[in-house]
Structure 1
Amino acid sequence: MHHQDNEKQIFNTLYDQYKHLGLPLELIKHTDFTVFNLKDINQPTPFKSPLSRLNFFVFAFIKSGDGDYTIDEHNYKLQPRAIYFTNPGHFRSFNWEHIGDVYLFTLSESFLKENVYANIFDEFSFLLAETFPARVVSPDVFDEFDILYHQILREYNSNSPYRYRIIGNLFVVVLLKFKEYFWQDYNPIYEGNRSSEIVKNFKRLLEKHYRDLSSGIAEQAFRVQDYADAQSLHPNYLSNVIKIKTGKTISTWIAEKTISEAKALLQNSKLSIKEIAFRLGFSEATHFSNYFKKHTDTSPVLFRKGYGTVTS
């Protein structure tokens, strides 16, 4: 295995992560979807992975094995009959004391949408949950999942032209079983104090980022993904929390902030309209002018004239 890195790594696929760690790559036949038994990597234990952000879903079924994992500074125990999943965006690390039968699925969001369900987050909103602590289930419940993941593994290793469609349909059953046993009453939006904290952090970052844009410290306007990454959240989850808690979408918050900063710069600075456009992340002054007019019914030039500020 490669040396431990002190800095946090970001991996978009399991292939990228395993290559970085010096682990065998022959297990990974598809970058968007993999399923295998962790013991097949033949890694001596104890085995520890460095802290990294994985931009894909991981589902784990631990038939036998012991260790723990840390996700966004929360630590959870891994033990026999434990089941868990994590979604894209979190920082996590693993520590395996013993690896027995541990079946891992890794899936990209695009694989889920193409092969499982186009409106995956409407049907299975729990996939956006911030964290899902590893849960130990009864032998009977674990056996149900055991049958399903072995069936998926069989299809994965087959040469059937329909294998990904079959896997997609079997995975719907896996998700329905997750819903049945863990998430029947789950609504990711109503997490009380935590969602209020998310809104507070979003507003704070929005303010700071637009201050940095206005002063020229930041050059690129943040997208929803950037605001989500800052809190290690899935963008859909962040969007839902902001919309439910504030009544406004993130794009509305961003638009209002962009316009208020634009007005302040037009009124109080001697920057040209082109410079203001670049400051606020627009590649062309005409894009900025159209955007400003759409939201204010007046052009930046006329707005500035109305306030008598010198243009350059």
Structure 2
Amino acid sequence: MVNLSKNIESNSLYELYKTLELPVDLFELTEGFTIFNLNEIGFSLPYSSSSFRPNFFSFLLVKNGQGKYSIDEYSFDVAPNSVYFTNPSNFRTFSWTEINDVLLITFDETFLKKYIGRDVYTEFPFLLTEIVRPKVVSDSFFQELKYITSLIHKTYKGKSIAKYNIIGHFLAILLFKIKEHIWIDYNPIYEGNRSSTIVISFKRMLEQHYRDISSGRVETVFRVQDYAEAQHLHPNYLSSVIKNKTGKSIAIWIADKTLSEAKALLQNPEIPIKEISYKLGFSESAHFSTFFKKHEGISPVQYRKSSVL
């Protein structure tokens, strides 16, 4: 049995389900993307999960089902004809009392940037939001989403050598549709209270800074002090807000972003690993290799070879 008092950290849905002792036979592990109808998983209902923190994004399309998601002090009922979105953030739980037609899509940041584009957060700023209530949508709009996701699902189960390129295009269409109908006027800077604004500003600055590093516009990796000064805050206060609101320290946020950027850069065989090391603030390629291997279990050279096959 899973220890319900344990907080679980997971980098993928596969990793989460395995820890929760749920079936994982249907998973395709080539890329950081999954799509399932939850009735395929075989939940024993009613089901309640342990507390977990995902390092991936997810969309839940509930045509026919009943459940509940909780994030921090917030708890949301998930009902028929609802769309629910979550991103890498705080610890949460989920429970189900009925699952008939519930589609779950998950993807990580590396997948987004590889198959949709490196400016994905500029095009879809709602991906950075913290707490999102499930949205009950019209039946006609839900059917539009169902059609797009059925194409994604069919492609995911297929054998096309270009399957993830195709999925990336369909996922972009899905994000545009959701943005147009749900978050057309969304601006993360105005979201929530002061603490939420701090978190959103930090995330946006982190994303923009690493984009500037990758493009060569800047050459110096920011310290915590730099992120704090940009918001006119004491570094200790910023660190406390980020840790308390997201469950992750600034050091982990920066390490995760460094790893994500490293993986994206390594997919371009024309950029020398020594140059990638320098771009990401490592004084020596050996330091970069040690960092990468610590987090991924393989060296940058091995990762590059596997990603360009």
Is 2:235 aligned against 1:206? yes
Tell me what 1:19 maps to: 18
Letter in 2 for 1:231: K
Tell me what 1:155 maps to: 155
The CA deviation string for residues 142-163 of structure 1, in whole angstroms up to 9 with x for no partner, is: 0000001111000001111111
The CA deviation string for residues 153-183 of structure 1, in whole angstroms up to 9 with x for no partner, is: 0000111111101100001110001111111
SS, match of residue 188 in structure 2: coil
The CA deviation string for residues 253-284 of structure 1, in whole angstroms up to 9 with x for no partner, is: xxxxxxxxxxxxxxxxxxxxxxxxxxxxxx9x
Cα distance between partner residues in 2 of 1:115 and 1:4: 36
Letter in 2 for 1:82: S
Q: CA 1:28–1:62 in structure 2 vs 1: closer, same or farther (change >3 Å)?
A: same
Q: CA 1:89–1:141 in structure 2 vs 1: closer, same or farther (change >3 Å)?
A: same
Tell me what 1:309 maps to: none
Cα distance between partner residues in 1 of 2:195 and 2:2: 38
Cα distance between partner residues in 2 of 1:97 and 1:193: 33
Q: 1:204 Cα shift?
A: 7.7
The CA deviation string for residues 259-312 of structure 1, in whole angstroms up to 9 with x for no partner, is: xxxxxxxxxxxxxxxxxxxxxxxx9xxxxxxxxxxxxxxxxxxxxxxxxxxxxx
Equivalent residues of 2:2, 2:19 under 8 A apart: no
Q: 1:9 Cα shift?
A: 1.3
Percent identity over the alignment is 39
The CA deviation string for residues 116-141 of structure 1, in whole angstroms up to 9 with x for no partner, is: 22211011011001122111111101
Cα distance between partner residues in 2 of 1:227 and 1:207: 9
**In angstroms, what is the RMSD of aligned CA positions?**
2.9
SS, match of residue 58 in structure 2: strand
Bigger Rg, which one: 1
Q: 1:195 Cα shift?
A: 4.8
Cα distance between partner residues in 1 of 2:96 and 2:63: 14
Q: 1:233 Cα shift?
A: 7.7
Equivalent residues of 1:69, 1:95 under 8 A apart: yes
Tell me what 2:190 maps to: 190
The CA deviation string for residues 63-108 of structure 1, in whole angstroms up to 9 with x for no partner, is: 1100111012211111111101100022110010111111001101
Q: 1:230 Cα shift?
A: 3.9
Is 2:246 aligned against 1:232? yes
Tell me what 2:107 maps to: 107
Letter in 1 for 2:71: I
SS, match of residue 63 in structure 1: strand
Q: CA 1:133–1:234 in structure 2 vs 1: closer, same or farther (change >3 Å)?
A: farther
Equivalent residues of 1:155, 1:163 under 8 A apart: yes
Q: TM-score, normalization: structure 2?
A: 0.65
Cα distance between partner residues in 2 of 1:36 and 1:42: 11
Q: 1:231 Cα shift?
A: 1.9
Letter in 2 for 1:116: I
Tell me what 1:137 maps to: 137
Cα distance between partner residues in 2 of 1:147 and 1:197: 35
SS, match of residue 106 in structure 1: strand
Q: 1:47 Cα shift?
A: 0.5
Residues 33-44 of structure 1: matches in 2 within 5 Å?
33-44=33-44
Q: 1:207 Cα shift?
A: 2.5
Tell me what 1:81 maps to: 81
The CA deviation string for residues 237-258 of structure 1, in whole angstroms up to 9 with x for no partner, is: xx9xxxxxxxxxxxxxxxxxxx
Cα distance between partner residues in 2 of 1:175 and 1:234: 26
Cα distance between partner residues in 2 of 1:196 and 1:35: 30
SS, match of residue 198 in structure 1: helix
Tell me what 2:2 maps to: 3
Tell me which moved more, 109-118 or 189-198: 189-198
Unaligned stretches of 5+ residues in structure 1: 210-221, 240-282, 284-312
Tell me what 1:29 maps to: 28
Equivalent residues of 1:89, 1:229 under 8 A apart: no
Tell me what 2:166 maps to: 166
Q: TM-score, normalization: structure 1?
A: 0.65
Q: CA 1:205–1:105 in structure 2 vs 1: closer, same or farther (change >3 Å)?
A: farther
Cα distance between partner residues in 2 of 1:228 and 1:51: 19
Letter in 1 for 2:236: E
Q: 1:27 Cα shift?
A: 1.8
SS, match of residue 101 in structure 1: strand
Tell me what 2:54 maps to: 54
Tell me what 1:288 maps to: none
Q: 1:235 Cα shift?
A: 9.8
Tell me what 1:280 maps to: none
Letter in 2 for 1:37: N
Tell me what 2:305 maps to: none
The CA deviation string for residues 39-62 of structure 1, in whole angstroms up to 9 with x for no partner, is: 111111101111110110011101
